Chain A
């Protein structure tokens, strides 16, 4: 039987909400609810930052043999618009409560493109992940944050998609 793999938005190292084929909304509040509350408003000067979001992979059905090679990527095109960015950091398994100050060490999420430049998702919690790992979180915490600069237009953002790829035998 093939494994079932999900993307979860985490509220602790091993506690999360299933967001597979769903939505993660960057907002000015620390929760996983997708609504229009707590929007990120364009500042008069400088930049503001969303609360960080942390994603992790959950295995909810086991593979026949193993799951490995977790990697995250985008289509490489930031269509959020002028003044809006998203950065990302592989935190390993180092849980840190979400915060809204600027992430110190991070890289542009849209620099991770399909294939060779994907963000490795199993650097600290390394695979292969076995049937014994069923019903548990696997791989590393992926932390992200959106920034909105004063140059950004006043509007709701268009959709962007984050992909998780994995191999299985």
Chain B
């Protein structure tokens, strides 16, 4: 499911007409964000409404990996990698690590100590002292639903349903 479609919206006019397209909410008495997955529902009722819109955020990285400082000692058959520098402030369990060159396999980290990294599975490859890289996760998209009411705005995040109320003219960017 696209991030922008975790909620559907509908608005009800004074005469009971339901609208599901467009941006104009004048003469509406109810606006609802209806979750399509397990998210909280949001309703605005009995407040003068002006307009609505969606705001998408998509991203790209300038790097897909980051080089770790110093050299790491990879040993065939061992699930432990000795480090020459303390990497505890840089990497954490759950991250992926590999030797620096293209085509090398990624390994899952399960523990990091000042001089030792522990892998989920034993490393299978050439024993080598070499510079190494960690994987940079792709940036995640986000989508906000915004309802502009008289006196305030309501922004709702499509990813987790959290809501933020701002001044009427506030432009929220993530």
CA distance A92 to B170 in the complex (A): 28
List the one stretch of A17-25, A41-49, A97-105, A133-141 in contact with chain B: A17-25
Write out the residue numbers on chain A whose beta carbons fall within 8 Å of the beta carbon of B59: 7, 20-21, 161-164
Kindly state whether residue B16 has any CB partner on chain A within 8 Å.
no
CB-contacts of B124-156 with A (<8 A): 133, 136, 138-141, 143
Tell me, in angstroms, the Cα distance from A1 to B7 when the chains sit together.
11
Residues of chain B with a CB closer than 8 A to A132's CB: none
B133 touches A156 (CB 8 A): yes
Q: How many residues of B contact A (CB 8 A)?
A: 36
Q: How many A-B residue pairs have CB under 8 A?
A: 124
Q: For the complex, what is the distance from the CA of A6 to the CA of B143, rounded to whole Å?
A: 13
A73 to B66, CA, bound (A): 22
Q: Which residues of A contact B102 (CB under 8 A)?
A: 35-37
B170 to chain A, nearest CB (A): 9
State the CA gap A169–B11 with chains docked (Å): 14
Q: Are B53 and A1 within 8 A (Cβ)?
A: no
- B136 CB to nearest A CB, Å: 4
Closest to B63 in A: A159
**In the bound complex, how far is the Cα of B59 from the Cα of A63, in angstroms?**
19
**Alpha-carbon gap, A160 to B138, bound state (A):** 11
Q: In the complex, how many residues of chain A place their beta carbon closer than 8 angstroms to a beta carbon of chain B? A: 43
Given the interface pairs A1-B5, A21-B140, A166-B55, the reply to whether A156 lies near B66 with Cβ below 8 Å is: yes
Q: How far is the CA of A161 from the CA of B23 in the complex (A)?
A: 31
CB neighbours of B101 from chain A (8 A):
36
CA A162 to CA B141, docked complex, whole Å: 12
* Contact (Cβ within 8 A) A159 B55: no
Question: Which of A4, A5, A155, A163 lies at the interface centre, i.e. has the most chain B CB atoms within 10 A of its CB?
Answer: A163
Classify the secondary structure of A's interface with B: loop
With an 8 A cutoff between CB atoms, is B60 at the interface? yes
Q: Take A20-B141, A36-B101 as given contacts and tell me if A160 and B63 are in contact as well, using a CB distance cutoff of 8 Å.
A: yes
Cβ B60 vs Cβ A115 within 8 A: no
User: Taking the complex as formed, is B58 at the interface, i.e. its CB lies under 8 A from any CB of chain A?
Assistant: yes
Closest A-B pairs by Cβ, 8 of them = A2-B4, A156-B67, A169-B23, A23-B64, A21-B138, A159-B63, A114-B173, A168-B54
Residues on B close to A: CB < 8 A? 2, 4-5, 21-23, 52-67, 69, 100-102, 133, 136, 138-141, 143, 171, 173-174
27 A-B pairs with C-beta separation under 8 A: A2-B4, A3-B4, A5-B56, A7-B59, A20-B60, A21-B58, A21-B59, A21-B138, A21-B141, A23-B60, A24-B61, A26-B62, A64-B22, A73-B173, A156-B66, A160-B61, A160-B63, A161-B60, A161-B61, A161-B62, A163-B57, A165-B56, A165-B173, A165-B174, A166-B56, A167-B54, A168-B4
Given A23-B62, A165-B55, 17 new contacts (CB under 8 A): A3-B4, A7-B60, A23-B64, A25-B62, A25-B64, A34-B64, A86-B62, A155-B69, A156-B65, A156-B67, A161-B139, A163-B57, A164-B59, A165-B57, A166-B56, A169-B22, A169-B23
